Amino acid sequence: MTYNAYSLDGKLVLVTGGGTGIGRGVALELARQGADVALSYASSAKGALGAVEEIQGMGRRAIAIKGNLSEVAECRRVVDEAAAFLGGLDGLVNNAGITATVDFLDVTEELFNRIYFTNIRGEYFCCQQAVPYIIERGRALKIQYPERSWAGGSIVNMSSVHGAVGFAGHSVYAGTKGAINAFSRELAVELCPQHIRVNVLAPGSIEVPSYFTADPSYTRAIGDSMVPWGRVGLPEDVGYLAAFLVSDAAEFMTGHVLYFDGGLTAKMAIPYTPAKGER
């Protein structure tokens, strides 16, 4: 069989926050490309179990693992259970996170801790627990395929455009995303000798179920109008890029923050009307 660097056949991947929204879209796309997937979830059991059924229907192995990733012990347990079920780890997609739109002066200590503990502490300690499994998997693959150079393991940390641009009410959330960006760049350098690459996916407007529950007046047309490209993003869009980053085709890419936003961060927000005769 011809080697396909883009294929995820045989890859073993944990996706945190995989029960809904972006995480679910990523998990399903990884499976479509051939990966066996473990999904963690905090409260979206129905979505996680439904995703497991879909993945199994594709002929891939899958498991849903409940865990509160704001707690370090839970991070370690979820990663351990995922690796035990899959038989190791080739990759980790750190997607679990929470957001809240709150005025800066109204942010409480409890809210601050809840968002930081899940969004950055959760990613940090899931990475720490996953790295030894990825290293061991690399050793096993070198023995199994001595003729093939190991393309390395892959960690994809989910951030947001909020880590790069300002938006009212997101002082805490944006802070966690900036921390994820900085931590991931550092980790990419530190893990180069272990041949594990670390990249960040920073989505913009991605239509997830919470768009509709948070604002009952939200419509797809409204979402489309917010994005320079002309349409709102969808979870499967993020899945396509995540699948590439997990694949061997991304072997030479590490330490990057990829803004995946239909042009949001590229567009200057200052309103401008050309003067008469100006083009």
Q: Which positions are catalytic?
A: 173
* Cβ count within 10 A of residue 163: 21
* Burial annotation 75-87 (CB, 10 A radius, 16+ → b, else e): bbbbbebbbeebe
Query: Quick one: tokens of 133?
Result: 């499994």
Query: Quick one: tokens of 47?
Result: 């979505």
* Cβ count within 10 A of residue 146: 7
Query: Quick one: tokens of 1?
Result: 């069989």
CA nearest to 133, candidates 173, 53, 78: 78
Report the distance separating Cα 250 and Cα 254, nearest Å.
8
Residue with tokens 């693992």: 65
Q: DSSP string of 199-226?
A: EEEEE-SB--HHHHHH-TT--HHHHHHT
DSSP secondary-structure letter at 182? H
Residue with tokens 């849903």: 64
Task: Determine phi and psi for 25, rounding to 5 degrees.
Answer: -60, -40
